[in-house]
């Protein structure tokens, strides 16, 4: 776009220069002027010469003693021009104004980084959903459990939106967004440029849902630690009763007054992608008068396939496993809110996390079944979101949908159209002036030979001895210094063509012509 602006500016400038080269002949034929002024008018296509002509023609400058301190001031002479300086000022304004408009034009169609990425051929970077952490011992997953919990905690501040509020731009968000539905939470994966993961990315059609079902039990009494069979493990229990069932003692590895404790089973009891929970909100005799006990199943769904034209294509089994993950990865995500990574007090079949009252995962109120379900789903889907953002990476090679930074042109049409109208208006005004003045005299071509023939009566007064004189030397030569000349013609006699010539003041016709007569000229 900068190149187009430059081309427009150069085209406009060349047009105005051509107009000036045409105008000058009308001014040269109107009155007698000194050689300096005649020379400046001949150079009307140069804005520097026009500026100098304006300075020399100003009534307030001519004859001033202070002006004669400068070279231009010493060359000023009263040649009878009253309005030439205004013409020069107008022409300078037209030229400068047109260039300013062209410069302004580029401000209102800037090329900016596109919000939509440009798809190119190359590798695409995604999260490796095979494992949460590369364990030194393949049969151990303690670090993976704690890693999943850490990702879930990082996602605590990630932005939340409704299902129909898809976000594709992450530049203003504190993390990858998660989406809340009526009965589930959802995460939508991103494909990234390996070289610029956090600036070049595109939303994938891959998505995953976290769902949770909870049942609140009737509770009898408080958390107790009097049962020897349970107390030998250094833990406690609470009695709860599901509708239609008998009272049961539920083991509680830890508890804190008013806090929510999340007890996650380390074994798969509710499905290969599910973790079951015992959730306790202990009483504090203030906000929570009686304990709350819930049994929950937290599940992470299969990841939907990438089928969009701008999405990735898995070519190998390794690609498939990295992109869509496995059941162990999903089950760890589903239980992330309760993982500690290590077995406390020999509890190998469950792990427990207790959160401070008033925190996001332990609200300072009496929680309901819906609250517990919502918290579990939010933590689970946030765990996946944080891992997709900065977890273990995997590059899928030979893709045609690698997102790279694209460019877009933003055009502010009202301003652009106004500026274009202004430029066209300047061209129109200059063209109208050209039509009005160009036909009043013979417009000569730009050839130096043609110009030499025209000025031959002037330089002939010096003779061949002045062949090496500069322009200033010729104008200041004693035989020409005080002469005034005019571009004019001598009328032909007996039907002969009119003769184009240079008139000298005092020798030739005194009055200038407003326009030349129609006919042939030589």
Write out pLDDT tens, residues 408-447: 777 778 887 888 888 888 788 878 877 777 767 777 777 8
Domain shared by 15 and 82, yes or no: yes
Residue 137 lies in a domain: yes
Q: Are 279 and 262 in contact (CB under 8 A)?
A: yes
Using CA atoms, how far apart are residues 191 and 323, in angstroms rounded to an integer? 10
Task: Check residue 153 and give its pLDDT.
Answer: 97
Quick: pLDDT tens for 436-486: 777 677 777 778 888 888 888 888 888 887 788 887 777 778 888 888 888
Give me the domain span that covers residue 62: 2-109+411-504
Query: Domain for residue 522, yes or no?
Result: no
- Same-domain pairing of 256 and 351: yes
Q: What is the pLDDT of residue 52?
A: 82
H helical segments located in 455-515 = 456-459, 471-475
Region 72-88: mean pLDDT is 66
Of the candidates 125, 147, 111, 474, the one whose C-alpha atom is nearest the C-alpha of residue 341 is 147
- pLDDT interval class at 219 (50, 70, 90): very high
pLDDT reported for residue 138: 57
Same structural domain for residues 152 and 19? no
Least confident of 213-222, 353-362, 487-496: 487-496
Q: Report the number of distinct structural domains present in the chain.
A: 2
Q: Which of 407, 430, 445 is the last residue of a domain?
A: 407
- Please check whether residues 35 and 126 belong to one and the same domain: no
Decide which of 490 and 146 is more confident: 146
| pLDDT (tens digit per residue) in 239-264 | 999 988 999 999 888 889 999 999 99
**Residue 500 within any structural domain of the chain:** yes
Q: What is the DSSP string of 195-228?
A: TEEEEEEEEEEEEEEEEEEEEEEEEEEEEE---H
391 & 446 share domain: no
List CB contacts of 273: < 8 A, sequence separation 6 or more: 299, 300, 301, 302, 327, 330, 331, 334
What is the pLDDT, as a whole number, of residue 78? 56
* Final residue before a domain boundary, out of 407, 434, 451: 407
Cβ pair 105, 8 in contact under 8 A: yes
Task: Kindly report the average pLDDT of the chain as a whole number.
Answer: 85
In a shared domain, residues 223 and 343: yes
Per-residue pLDDT, 233: 47
Statement to judge: residues 335 and 356 lie in one domain: yes
Residue 429 counted as domain residue = yes
Do 126 and 77 lie in one domain? The reply is: no
pLDDT tens-digit map of 323-347: 999 999 999 999 999 999 887 777 8
- β-bridge partners, 193: 196
Beta bridge partners of 160: 178
Q: Are residues 196 and 334 in the same domain?
A: yes
Closest CA to 518 of 494, 493, 497, 487: 497
Residue 517 inside a domain? The answer is no
Calpha distance 140→148 (Å, rounded): 14
Residue 279: name the closest of 289, 269, 265 by CA. 265
**With bands split at pLDDT 50, 70 and 90, how would you rate the model's confidence at 151?**
very high
Examine residue 181 and state whether it is found in any structural domain, yes or no: yes
Question: Does the residue 77 lie in any domain?
Answer: yes
Same structural domain, 213 and 304: yes
pTM of the model: 0.67
> Collapsing DSSP states into helix, strand and coil, what is residue 155?
helix
Distances (CA, A) of 379 to 8, 153, 340, 357: 58, 8, 15, 17
Which range scores top for mean pLDDT: 63-67, 70-74, 372-376, 487-491? 372-376
User: What is the C-alpha to C-alpha distance for residues 228 and 385, in angstroms, rounded to an integer?
Assistant: 43
Residues 199 and 179 occupy one common structural domain: yes
Pairwise CA distance, residues 193 & 171, whole Å: 15
Does residue 22 share a domain with residue 7?
yes
pLDDT of residue 232: 47
Residue 38 in any domain: the answer is: yes
Q: What single string gives the DSSP state of each residue in 55-112?
A: HHH-TTTTT-TGGGGSHHHHT----S-SSHHHHHHHHHHHHHHHHHHHHHHGGGS-EE
């Amino acid at each position: 776009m900068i190149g187009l602006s430059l081309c427009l500016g150069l085209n406009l400038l060349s047009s105005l220069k051509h107009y000036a080269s045409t105008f000058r002949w009308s001014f040269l034929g109107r009155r007698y002027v000194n050689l300096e002024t005649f020379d400046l008018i001949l150079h009307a296509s140069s804005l520097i010469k026009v500026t100098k002509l304006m300075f020399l023609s100003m009534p307030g400058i001519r004859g001033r003693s202070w002006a004669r301190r400068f070279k231009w001031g010493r060359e000023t002479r009263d040649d009878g021009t009253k309005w030439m300086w205004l013409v020069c000022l107008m022409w300078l304004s037209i030229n400068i104004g047109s260039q300013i408009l062209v410069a302004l034009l580029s401000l209102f169609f800037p090329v900016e980084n596109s919000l939509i990425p440009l798809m190119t051929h190359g590798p695409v970077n995604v999260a490796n959903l095979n494992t949460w952490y590369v364990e030194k011992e393949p049969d151990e997953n303690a670090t993976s459990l704690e890693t999943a919990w850490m990702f879930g905690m990082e996602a605590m501040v990630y932005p939340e939106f409704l299902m129909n509020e898809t976000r594709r731009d992450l530049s203003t968000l504190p993390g990858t967004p998660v989406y809340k539905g009526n009965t589930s939470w959802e995460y939508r994966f991103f494909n990234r440029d390996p070289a610029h993961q956090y600036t070049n990315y595109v939303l994938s059609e891959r998505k995953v849902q976290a769902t949770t079902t909870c049942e609140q039990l009737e509770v009898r009494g408080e958390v107790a630690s009097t049962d020897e069979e349970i107390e030998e493990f250094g833990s406690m229990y609470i009695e709860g009763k599901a509708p239609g069932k008998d009272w049961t003692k539920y083991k509680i590895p830890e508890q804190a007054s008013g806090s929510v404790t999340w007890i996650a089973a380390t074994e798969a009891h509710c499905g290969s992608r599910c973790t079951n929970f015992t959730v306790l909100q202990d009483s504090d005799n203030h906000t929570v008068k009686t304990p709350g006990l819930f049994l929950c199943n937290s599940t992470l769904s299969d990841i939907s396939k990438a089928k969009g034209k701008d999405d990735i294509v898995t070519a190998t089994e390794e690609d498939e496993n990295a992109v869509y993950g496995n059941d162990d990865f999903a089950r760890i995500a589903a239980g992330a809110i309760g993982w500690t990574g290590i077995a406390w007090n020999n509890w190998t079949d469950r792990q427990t996390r207790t959160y401070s009252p008033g925190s996001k995962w332990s609200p300072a109120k009496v929680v309901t079944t819906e609250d517990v379900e919502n918290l579990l789903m939010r933590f689970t889907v946030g765990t996946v979101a944080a891992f997709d953002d900065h977890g273990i990476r995997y590059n899928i090679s030979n893709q045609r949908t690698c997102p790279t930074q694209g460019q877009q042109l933003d055009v502010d049409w009202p301003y652009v159209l106004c500026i274009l109208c202004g430029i066209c208006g300047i061209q129109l005004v200059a063209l109208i002036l050209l039509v009005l003045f160009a036909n009043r005299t013979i417009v000569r071509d730009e050839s130096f030979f043609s110009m030499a023939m025209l000025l031959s009566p002037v330089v002939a007064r010096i003779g061949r001895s002045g062949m090496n004189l500069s322009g200033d030397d010729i104008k200041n030569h004693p035989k020409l210094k005080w002469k005034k000349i005019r571009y004019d013609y001598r009328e032909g006699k007996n039907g002969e063509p009119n003769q184009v010539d240079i008139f000298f003041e005092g020798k030739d016709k005194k009055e200038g012509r407003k326009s030349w007569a129609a006919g042939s000229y030589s």
